[in-house]
Amino acid sequence: MRLKDRFRKFLPVVVDVETAGFNAQTDALLEIACIPVLLNEQGVFYPGEAFNAHIEPFEGANLEPSALAFTGIDPNNPMRKAIAEDEKTALRRIFKGLKEVRRTEDCRQCVLIGHNAHFDLAFLNAAVLRTNNKSHNPFHNFSVFDTVTFALAFGQTVLARACKAAGLDFDGNDAHSALYDTQKTAELFCHILNHYPMLANAMHTEENKEDSTESSHK
């Protein structure tokens, strides 16, 4: 099975954002990381190459002090400012990389995977609109795969606890970095896919149903 067949021609991409608040329209997007999930010849899912960026707050963006204290991000740190990109440049670069992966895998669109995925998607979509990147955006506008739901397989909803329950390392000191959280979410997503088999009627289609019906009447 190829990746495009497993996800109906969607390329699953794990995304995490770090922000300066909870309002996608008014609060700054500070970090974003994206990791496509791939499938090897042995049928094992694994995280692909990461695309990530530190992002300069857009003009007029709100920087909520409590959010900055939570993430530990200082937008004015000279070392950060030296590598930060404006939103438009960062998104164009990341989208270009993802589109190359999508074409290689013969998928028609990316679908966002996230831990509380609609939060990440809201900030991504808001940034796309702000920067006029709609035509470059490879992601589906509203469909997501949410690892909070998948983590219920372990009786957990918190990413760190779900990773530990799955036997994956999770260093709390590195949490709230978009790249680290994306790597851990990708590992968790792949672990669940690789360890929980598909149901007996998986990949069912009407064509298969018709074939089965014809066979039963012969």
Residue with tokens 């796309």: 128
3-state helix, strand, coil split of the chain in percent (to 5) is 45, 20, 35
Contact yes or no for 168/188 (Cβ under 8 A): yes
Catalytic one among 118, 176, 191, 204?
176
Q: Which two tokens stand for residue 38?
A: 């791939």
Task: Give the relative orientation of helices 117-130 and 87-104 as an angle to the nearest 10 degrees.
Answer: 120
- DSSP codes joined into one string, 95-117: HHHHHHHHHHTT-SEEEEEETTH
> Around 23, how many Cα atoms within 13 Å sit in the side-chain half-sphere?
7
Q: Is 176 a catalytic residue?
A: yes
Strand 45-47 and strand 51-54: the pairing is: unpaired
- Positions annotated as catalytic residues are 176
